[in-house]
Amino acid sequence: MKVILRNKYLSRARYNRYLLATGNNLVSAKRLYRANMRLAQAFHPLLSQFEVIFRNSLNEVLISNFSDSDWIINQKTGFMSHSSLRTSHFFLRTCLVKTERKLHLRGIPITSGKLIADQTFGFWVSFFLPHHYGLVSGSPIHVFPLKLASENRASIHAKLETIKNFRNRVNHCEPLCFSGHTIDCTEALEIRTVLYKLLDWINPELNKFFKDFDNIESNCNRISTI
């Protein structure tokens, strides 16, 4: 890409970080920028599949908790409308109302499956926040039946929140290969470790499925040679 196009469409500030990390070497900066995109690309399938597994596991736990396969519809006027949630602007209920409006405008029937599939990762992670967690009897912890005894709601929420924030950075093609101004993929590798740890606590057999398409380490190794 020509410099004038790069500065106009990628922004000079975004690209300068890559130039600074490579000592203003234009060739190396270009290689590093592309390598960062490939690292983001490598994370996409792991993050998206983890989200699906986490969402579906939590849905099953909540079905059991409410003894209701349509809990996501029926609890809009149940725990999601509890007065204690006023300070959080009834986040869960608001998310569902938005989805219902969207489905209605598109002429799509509202079903539990449609509502579940449309919710963001943040929607599901929020079940580990204290104000939601208590209202569903602490049931979300059962998503991780093999967790360590030392792990609790707060520690698991912290891990999920870290993954959520990293996922947002991946989706916006932000730098994943720096520590300060130094080329360093430590954080990316730590996120990968957390993902596998959470999968282990759900079901260790899931790890093989993920490792079949996981090429994060090789991408990090490639970056370290730039």
Tell whether the model's pLDDT for residue 14 goes beyond 90.
Answer: no
High-pLDDT (> 70) share of the chain, %: 96
Q: pLDDT at position 174, please?
A: 92
- Answer whether residue 5 shows pLDDT above 80: no
- The dihedral region occupied by 110, where left means phi > 0, alpha psi between -120 and 50, and beta the remainder, is beta
223: tokens are 């970056």
Give me the residues paired with residue 216 across strands. Answer: none
- Give pLDDT tens digits for 187-212: 999 999 999 999 999 999 999 999 99
pTM of the model: 0.93
146 φ/ψ angles, rounded to the nearest 5 degrees:
-105, 20
pLDDT tens sequence across 36-50? 999 999 999 999 999
Q: pLDDT tens for residues 128-146?
A: 999 999 999 999 999 999 9
**Degrees, nearest 5: CA angle 45-200-35:** 30
Check whether 86 has a pLDDT greater than 90. yes
Residue range 22-41, pLDDT digits in tens: 999 999 999 999 999 999 99
Residue 167: what pLDDT?
Answer: 97
pLDDT at 7: 67
Residue 10 has pLDDT above 90, yes or no: no
User: What's the pLDDT score for residue 13?
Assistant: 76
Q: What is the mean pLDDT of residues 50-63?
A: 98
* Cα–Cα dist 221/188, whole Å: 12
Please report, as a single letter, which amino acid is at residue 209.
F
Can you give the pLDDT at residue 141? 98
Helix (H) or strand (E) holding 179: strand 178-179
Task: Select from 139, 133, 129, 124 the least CA-distant residue to 63.
Answer: 139
When pLDDT is cut at 50, 70 and 90, the band that residue 1 belongs to is low
pLDDT higher than 70, residue 4: no
Q: What is the pLDDT of residues 157-183, one digit of tens each?
A: 999 999 999 999 999 889 999 998 899
| Domain residue extents for the chain | 43-224
